[in-house]
Structure 1
Amino acid sequence: MRITGKHVNYYHICHRKLWLFHHGISFQQTHDNVADGSLLHLTSYPQRAARYREIQIDGIKIDFYDPQDRVIHEIKRSDKLEHASIAQLQYYLYVLERHGVSGPTGILEYPKLRQTQTVVLTDADRAAIPQWEAAIEQIVSSTECPPVINKPLCKQCSYYEFCYVGE
């Protein structure tokens, strides 16, 4: 199984969302937040396509990579789930290192907030990521969908109606 950045991101948000996504159950194309994020991605830094490269490796897709400085630029619409965004970027850095890129770094960018955050990979992260991978594989290989987590963040999720249809 190829683990993507979305797998890692969803693992840190909601195991149910991870399981549903992996099994091809998606409502993202009709959700306003997803559309807003896609538009933000296309319009925030229009000059990026000419300066940086898009790379795909081991199932991950990095939209903006600066090979000269070994920097990944990751755009997010909000910092509300920052821990998951950081984990996703750390996973990208981990995959690059696994393929021989020495000392890559990442920058999380929040254009709407006019903020950035530098992300690096520590030894603790390098030790934790294989555990994430194993947990992700265990969750998605299960025949049973994980339970609803029933947290405030659920109300903004594209799976909200699916998870709470009976309530």
Structure 2
Amino acid sequence: MVKYYHTCHRELWFYSNKLDVDRSNTGIVHGSKIDDTTYTDGRRRVFIDGTIAIDVLEDGTVVEIKRSSKLEQPGEWQLKFYLWYLKTNKGLDVDGQLSYPRERKRESVELTTEDEEYICKIIPEIQEIIERPAPPDPELKPICDTCAYHDFCWV
């Protein structure tokens, strides 16, 4: 939900209220293919407390796999939330890394004190958005054309 908070509040509301996406959407298909073909050696998907789903736990580093670096900031905040959650709820201070297999690129992600304060600030804001009786109004963004929820906003 932290990723959606940084991408689109309307998308956050749809996702959290269990409105399913168009599974034939090109972005969903490509993302699923990357999930199915990357890190196939069994180090994938670690579920913790029904709250976070880590893509890969590699030598003590939390690795978040993304289709592209186009939406780097939302992916980075998603990973920082995972790091914060592990530190706050499990007492684990671990490293993070964003992985973009198609681009053959990896970036280290560090959780700072300022990041922790920011995460504590946005959690109630995320809760407020998902508890609304209706989604926020659509806001045209560059990513709208490729969004799996496009038809909920612009048709």
Q: Which consecutive unaligned segments of at least 5 residues does structure 2 have? A: none
Could you tell me which amino acid in structure 1 is paired with residue 47 of structure 2? I
Aligned residues: 155
How well do the aligned residues superpose, as a CA RMSD in angstroms? 1.6
Q: Please name the residue that 1:27 is paired with.
A: 21
1:151 aligns to 2:131 (yes or no): no
Structure 1 residues 117 and 139, CA gap change in structure 2 (3 angstroms): same
User: Is contact 2:98–2:109 with CA below 8 Å preserved after alignment?
Assistant: yes
Equivalent residue, structure 1, for 2:63: 73
2:92 is equivalent to residue 98 of structure 1: no
The change in CA–CA distance for 1:28 and 1:88 in structure 2 (over 3 A counts) is farther
- The 2-side partners of 1:112 and 1:55 are apart by 24
Q: Residue 90 of structure 1 contacts residue 120 of structure 1 at CA under 8 Å; is this kept in 2?
A: yes
Aligned to 1:88: 78
Q: CA deviation at 1:28?
A: 3.9
TM-aligned CA distance change 1:43 to 1:89, over 3 Å = same
Q: Secondary structure, in 3 states, of the residue corresponding to 2:143? A: helix
The alignment's TM-score, normalised by the length of structure 2, stands at 0.93
Question: Would the alpha carbon gap of residues 131 and 44 (structure 1) be closer, same or farther in structure 2, given more than 3 Å must change?
Answer: same
Within 2, Cα distance between the matches of 1:85 and 1:54? Answer: 17
Conserved in 2, the CA contact under 8 Å of 1:109 and 1:115?
yes
**Aligned match of 1:63 in 39, 51, 55?**
55
The 8 Å contact of residues 44 and 54 in structure 2, kept in 1 or not, is answered as no
Q: How does 1:113-128 map to 2 (within 5 A)?
A: 113-128=103-118
Ranges in structure 1 where 5+ consecutive residues have no aligned partner: 1-6
Partner of 2:8: 14
Name the CA distance, whole Å, in 2 between partners of 1:63 and 1:80. Answer: 19
TM-score by length of 1: 0.86
In the other structure, the counterpart of 2:126 is 136
Q: Percent identity?
A: 34
Moved over 3 A (4+): none
